[in-house]
Amino acid sequence: MDVTELDLPFTWAGGGVVSTAGEIAKMLQVLLGGELLPDRLREEMLRAVDSDWNETDRYGLGVGEITAVMGRQQSPCGAAWGHIGFSAGYTAIALSSEDGERQVVLCANGGFVSEEAEEAFFDAAGRLVWHLYCL
């Protein structure tokens, strides 16, 4: 499905950045590993507040603390930091350990044809993400 011509009101916050999964993982690695920001700014970025979004438990400055993928599959090895994002035509799950030592990025194209399909996707994605993240 080509969604490039849609004018969706909620895409303004997505940034419209085109990146590979490897590039996103590297960005998370240097950001959370302390290579990009001075320690005081990294600490401020991670000073999170509770979130009422399904995507995050707590939200800092541009990054969320996540212990369950969309409130479903719970991490067996602790919280991760990053984002779960979706819009018409794609879903991206990009997570890193707080110290930047390990990352997992899952990108999927397509849309959900039903609520059941969406739930099945996030259930499967959660199992895969946490399996890879906790290795």
pLDDT at 116: 94
Residue range of the domain that includes 46? 20-133
pLDDT at 3: 59
- Residue 1 is encoded by which pair of tokens? 């499905």
Q: What is the mean pLDDT of residues 90-105?
A: 94
**Confidence band for 4, pLDDT divided at 50, 70 and 90:** low
What is the tally of structural domains in the chain? Answer: 1
Q: For 67-77, how does the pLDDT look when each residue is reduced to its tens digit (9 = 90+)?
A: 999 999 899 99
Residue 14 lies in a domain: no
- Strand, helix or coil for residue 121: helix
Distance of CA 6 to the CA centre of its chain: 23
- Residue 22 is encoded by which pair of tokens? 């490897």
Phi and psi angles of residue 80, each rounded to the nearest 5 degrees, phi first: -125, 165
Residue 119 lies in a domain: yes
Query: Tokens 């993982």 belong to which residue?
Result: 25
Distance set, CA 48 to CA 17, 60, 97 (Å): 24, 4, 15
Nearest alpha-carbon partner for 71 in 54, 85, 84: 54
pLDDT at 57: 96
CA quadruple 10, 108, 16, 61: dihedral positive or negative? positive
pLDDT at 2: 62
Task: Give residue 35's region: left, alpha or beta (phi > 0; psi -120 to 50).
Answer: alpha
**Confidence band for 13, pLDDT divided at 50, 70 and 90:** low
CATH of the domain at 112: 3.40.710.10
CA gap 50, 59 in Å, rounded: 6
Distance set, CA 97 to CA 15, 17, 33, 61 (Å): 23, 22, 9, 16
Residue 86 lies in a domain: yes
Q: For 14-59, how does the pLDDT look when each residue is reduced to its tens digit (9 = 90+)?
A: 556 678 999 999 999 999 999 999 999 999 999 999 999 999 999 9
Residue 106 lies in a domain: yes
Residue 3 lies in a domain: no
Residue 102 lies in a domain: yes
Residue 7 lies in a domain: no
Between the two ends of the chain, the Cα-to-Cα distance in Å is: 34
Q: What is the mean pLDDT of residues 120-134?
A: 94
Residue 30 lies in a domain: yes
